[in-house]
Chain A
Amino acid sequence: IAGITQAPTSQILAAGRRMTLRCTQDMRHNAMYWYRQDLGLGLRLIHYSNTAGTTGKGEVPDGYSVSRANTDDFPLTLASAVPSQTSVYFCASSAGAGFYNEQFFGPGTRLTVL
């Protein structure tokens, strides 16, 4: 079944540790996104990639980095995790970066930083 997979499903992490959240899509979508979801705040964009080889900053990029070496994969790295990064992280993709493209979401990764 085509779609987006994320790993791990959940993770408890000690503050200061490095963590990479994985995201893979098999829809050959050009654009990919990382969001965090926090209660009462909806989803906020962390980083995006319009196409392989390019990335950009979203609304809340501090403390996170991304790479886009190929079309399918878009990992999100927390270089040194802090408790405020406790959240549910969603990866998404869209066929293109145009205004009219809806986004498809993965199942999410629940991250707890202690």
Chain B
Amino acid sequence: AQSVAQPEDQVNVAEGNPLTVKCTYSVSGNPYLFWYVQYPNRGLQFLLKYITGDNLVKGSYGFEAEFNKSQTSFHLKKPSALVSDSALYFCAVRFLTNDMRFGAGTRLTVKP
């Protein structure tokens, strides 16, 4: 089955520390992977995507993600977290033209 999983419902980090939000996927063929962020009472905003090429993808607001084919993972990272990064983060995989499958989401809280 084609799916994406976010194993952590909640991630807590201190401001200034590095953060990682985990995502694993299961898809036949080449995966097309995305990260989105959702702030309270807002729609999702695109952060970054992996299509092909370099395994390390850089995106908006200083975020990056590393595609690891052997571990079927696409973890979101940031070297130094900000309080304003606190939000709900969604990993998504696209395996058919019109079918974007989202993970359940991970709530990131960055404490001052």
Contact = CB atoms under 8 A, between A and B. Distances in A.
A84 to B, nearest CB: 18
Interface in A98-114: 98-100, 102-108
B98 A58 contact: yes
A111 B41 CA distance: 13
Contacts of B36: 105
Contacts of B90: 42-43
Interface residues of B, number: 23
Contacts of B92: 43
A45 B97 CA distance: 12
A107 B99 contact: no
Interface of B: 32, 34, 36, 41-46, 49, 51, 90, 92, 94, 97-105
26 contacts: A35-B102, A42-B102, A42-B105, A45-B100, A48-B98, A50-B97, A56-B98, A58-B98, A58-B99, A92-B43, A92-B44, A97-B98, A99-B51, A99-B97, A102-B34, A102-B49, A103-B44, A103-B46, A105-B36, A105-B43, A105-B44, A105-B45, A106-B43, A107-B41, A107-B42, A108-B42
Interface of A: 4, 31, 33, 35, 40-45, 48, 50, 56, 58-59, 90, 92, 97-100, 102-108
